[in-house]
Amino acid sequence: MNILFSQFLLQIFFLTIVFLHISKKNFDVVWAYGIQSFIIVLLLFNSFLETQRTSLLLITLLVLIIKVILAPGFFTRLVKKNKLIFSASTYLNIPVTLIILALLTAIAHSNTFAPLTTIIPANKILLSLALSSMFLSLFLTINSKSALSQIISILSLENSIVAFAIFAGLEQSFSLQIGILFDISVWLFISTVFVSMIYKHFGSLDVISMKKLID
């Protein structure tokens, strides 16, 4: 795959995270995550084409099933079942959020992180973008008031790490990948149950409503 195309895919990936920050509708959030995961599938498939490793193809298929089909399906059903059309707002308003996103992106592109982003010098821009995606996903977890957005932000962080690993050329073993996917499957199941319980108990997915749980 052409590096420019890879860069294009990663830019879309990055933009999906920015979109997750500004989106107010839960359906849109789920869709953005689906697109993001599909980009990961494309990148993995590209790795398969380059390396011709059958295990990588298997992983690509599993990622497609779990992250692109099952996970968004789970969340869509959850949103429909609980009629959670609109997600709770963020702690910071959109302009401030965008400023912080810009700052985090600048930090990830700074020379301080050069030891990380120059693992493969040819992929420096791609790695910087993947690192920015990781920071932005983490910030999404912090800034979001909705439990659903927080869950998706953690999944998004995981996708960012995979993207970083692909461009850093870090060989990940087959068993490790299978383990991570299994982990995500179980995690999805538990978090769905957990979110449903939170909604039933508090009548909202706004994490602020859980404040009364503290001592």
Partner 1 sequence: MITAITLQYIFLGLISLFFVGAIGSLLFRKNDAVTSLWSNSFAILASLAGLLFATLTYLYGHSLSFSLGAIALPIFSLSFHIDKLSAFFIFTISLISLLCSIYAIGYVTHFYKKYDLGVLGFFYHAFILGMLLVVSSSNGLFFLIAWELMSLASYFLVIYDRNDPSNIKAGFLYLVMTHAGTALILIALLLLYKFTGSFDFETIASLSGAIPLSIKNSVFILAVIGFGTKSGIVPFHIWLPSAHPAAPSHVSALMSGVMIKTGIYMMIRVFLYMLWPVPTWWGLTILVLGSISSLLGVLYALTEHDIKRLLAYHSIENIGIILLGLGSALTFTSLGLPSLALLGLTAALFHTLNHATFKSLLFLSAGWVASQTHTKNMEEYGGLIKYMPYTALFFLIASMAISALPPFNGFFSEWLTFQSLFLGITLLSLYTKWIFVLAAGSLAFTGGLALACFVKAFGITFLARPRSEEIAHTKESSFFPRLSMGLLALLCLLFGIFSGSLTWLLQTTGKDFVAFKNTASFVSVSLNQQVLIGHNFSFISLASLFILFMFIILLVIYITRFVINKNQKISMGTTWDCGTDLTGRMEISATGFSRSVIVIFKGILRPSIQHNVEYHDSESRYLAKSRSITLGIKDIYQSYFYQPLHRAINTVSVRIKSIQSGNINAYILYIFMALVVALFFVL
Question: Site residues (CB under 8 A) for partner 1?
Answer: 91, 107, 112-116, 135, 138-139, 141-145, 150, 207-208, 210-211, 213-215
Compute CA distances 141 → 17, 22, 31, 112, 153, whole Å: 11, 13, 18, 24, 6
CB contact at 8 A, 124 and 108: no
User: Which amino acid, residue 61?
Assistant: L
Q: Which is nearer to partner 1, 46 or 133 (CB)?
A: 133
* Least distance to partner 1, CB of residue 61, Å: 32
CB contact at 8 A, 16 and 36: yes
* Least distance to partner 1, CB of residue 131, Å: 10
Q: Which is nearer to partner 1, 39 or 148 (CB)?
A: 148
User: Which amino acid, residue 88?
Assistant: A
* Least distance to partner 1, CB of residue 91, Å: 7
For residue 25, the cross-strand partners are 86
φ, ψ at 25 (rounded to 5°): -95, 135
* Least distance to partner 1, CB of residue 109, Å: 14
Residue 77, classed as helix, strand or coil, is: helix
Q: Which is nearer to partner 1, 70 or 116 (CB)?
A: 116
Q: Which is nearer to partner 1, 134 or 166 (CB)?
A: 134
* Least distance to partner 1, CB of residue 102, Å: 16
